[in-house]
């Protein structure tokens, strides 16, 4: 794809100085123009041939520098949880109902009072300009066009103000709590002023997980990029070190003393609802609710923190049962199909967040790629609902799925 155009560019540049006359040069440039059009048509056709979310990752791996791809794709240590986040979905099967009028399917839902087109939202993914020059702004526009929520990372390459100005839409702000609490308060207030609608507090990162790919690659933020939420604060760069530059940055900046009392402290500096992201147990679910959380995101940080924790889809039901309907519970991690979304909803999630599919699509085809990923997941979920006999999200129930941990299963009464 893009390597075709790059190769043509190199040929043109290396050949420009070999022509003896303007007419010869003109003919060459006309031919080169035709070749560019041909190459662009190939790229366009390849984009059209993408039929599922996972295909974007294959292409992104070819296109991105190794350090960048590995940063987005890898997990912690043995990466068992990274694989399990996907594999666990395959252990949940459907129990579809038939002969139900599914000529009309309604996928709309309400999240924290905001009406969105589908229960599929964009998770916070850091440093998106490593994937595409327009980074988070392109993602925000795509999410807005899809009628869903985009979550901006604290460690974005685009600031809250830049994203807010790109197009209207419903946005959440993901928060890492730094040691400098004045800085944290500044970030939260800036997000609130910029029109963000909720704070997603990342609670599973007192220290960064051991991401061995980043260590081997000596991960650092490319020098032409900055973390724009920290512009002017001397915190916008992640320099190269003998280890992972991000791990060193986090060790210096992230507050390891973060505790449940800080969830309450956040409520004193903002009126925005606070979602606690990183919950995997019933115990922490109850504590989050006691601390005043408006919602819970079941997440293992994309399997990038503690390896050998359960897949988020495995932990979901425990959290849902502990929440007892007091707050909405969302799933983050491993979603690659509309069938995955349906399974999460059947196990009690109010919606799901997707991260890697967005950033890989962004790398491959910018805003259009993100838009297509969201559309594909929308269409797959709609089809799954129709084939399961569900006309609205409310009709999706636990009886529509069976998991390997259910046996012996008590069948519902007729």
Q: How far out from the chain centre does Cα 44 lie?
A: 25
Inter-residue contact 381 to 107 (CB < 8 Å): yes
301 noted as active-site residue: yes
Token pair of 241 as six digits: 């070190």
Inter-residue contact 148 to 120 (CB < 8 Å): yes
Distance from C-alpha of 107 to C-alpha of 116, rounded to nearest angstrom:
9
In the set 132, 178, 301, 400, the catalytic residue is 301
Helix (H) or strand (E) holding 175: strand 171-175
Inter-residue contact 401 to 93 (CB < 8 Å): yes
Phi, psi of 192 (to 5 degrees): -65, -45
Token pair of 173 as six digits: 């702000």
- 261 SS3 class: helix
Determine the Cα angle at 87 with ends 82 and 88, to 5°.
Answer: 100
Distance from C-alpha of 236 to C-alpha of 70, rounded to nearest angstrom:
21
Which contacts qualify for 306-309: CB closer than 8 Å, 24 or more apart?
306/76, 306/81, 306/204, 306/209, 307/75, 307/76, 307/77, 307/78, 307/79, 307/80, 307/81, 307/209, 308/78, 308/80, 308/81, 309/81, 309/280
Looking at 50-159, list the stretches that DSSP marks H as alpha helix, in order from N- to C-terminal side.
Answer: 54-63, 66-73, 80-87, 135-146
Helix (H) or strand (E) holding 276: strand 274-279
Q: How far out from the chain centre does Cα 64 lie?
A: 17
Distance from C-alpha of 322 to C-alpha of 283, rounded to nearest angstrom:
8
Distance from C-alpha of 396 to C-alpha of 206, rounded to nearest angstrom:
36
The residues that are catalytic are 301
């Amino acid at each position: 794809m893009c390597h075709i155009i790059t190769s043509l560019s190199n040929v043109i540049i290396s050949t420009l100085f070999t022509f003896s006359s303007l007419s010869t040069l003109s003919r060459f440039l006309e031919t080169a123009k035709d070749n560019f059009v041909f190459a662009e048509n190939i790229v366009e056709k390849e984009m059209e041939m993408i039929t599922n979310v996972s295909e974007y990752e294959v292409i992104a791996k070819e296109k991105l520098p190794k350090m960048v791809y590995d940063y987005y794709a890898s997990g912690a240590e043995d990466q068992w949880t990274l694989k399990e986040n996907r594999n666990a979905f395959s252990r949940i099967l459907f129990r579809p109902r038939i002969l139900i009028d599914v000529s009309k399917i309604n996928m709309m839902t309400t999240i924290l009072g905001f009406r969105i087109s589908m229960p599929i939202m964009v998770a916070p993914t850091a440093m998106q300009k490593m994937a595409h020059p327009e980074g988070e702004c392109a993602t925000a526009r795509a999410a807005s066009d899809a009628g869903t929520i985009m979550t901006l990372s604290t460690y974005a390459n685009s600031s809250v103000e830049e994203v807010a100005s790109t197009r209207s839409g419903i946005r959440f702000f993901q928060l890492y709590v730094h040691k400098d609490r004045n800085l944290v308060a500044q970030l939260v207030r800036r997000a609130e002023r910029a029109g963000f609608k909720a704070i997603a507090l990342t609670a599973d990162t007192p220290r960064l997980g051991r991401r061995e790919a980043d260590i081997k690659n000596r991960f650092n933020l490319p020098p032409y990029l900055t973390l724009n939420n920290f512009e002017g604060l001397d915190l916008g760069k992640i320099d190269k070190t003998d280890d992972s530059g991000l791990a060193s940055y986090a060790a210096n900046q992230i507050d390891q003393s973060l505790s449940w009392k800080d969830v309450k402290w956040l409520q004193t500096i903002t009126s925005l609802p606070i979602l606690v992201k990183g919950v995997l147990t019933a115990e922490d679910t109850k504590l989050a609710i006691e601390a005043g959380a408006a919602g819970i995101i079941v997440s293992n940080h994309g399997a990038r923190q503690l390896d050998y924790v359960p897949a988020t889809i495995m932990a979901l039901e425990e959290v849902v049962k502990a929440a007892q309907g007091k707050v909405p519970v969302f799933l983050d991690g491993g979603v690659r199909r509309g069938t995955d979304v349906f399974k999460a909803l059947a196990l009690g999630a109010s919606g799901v967040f997707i991260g890697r599919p967005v950033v890989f699509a962004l790398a491959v085809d910018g805003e259009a790629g993100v838009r297509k990923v969201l559309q594909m997941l929308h269409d797959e979920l709609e089809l799954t609902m129709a084939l399961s006999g569900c006309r609205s999200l409310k009709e999706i129930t636990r009886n529509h799925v069976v998991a390997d941990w259910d046996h012996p299963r008590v069948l519902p009464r007729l």
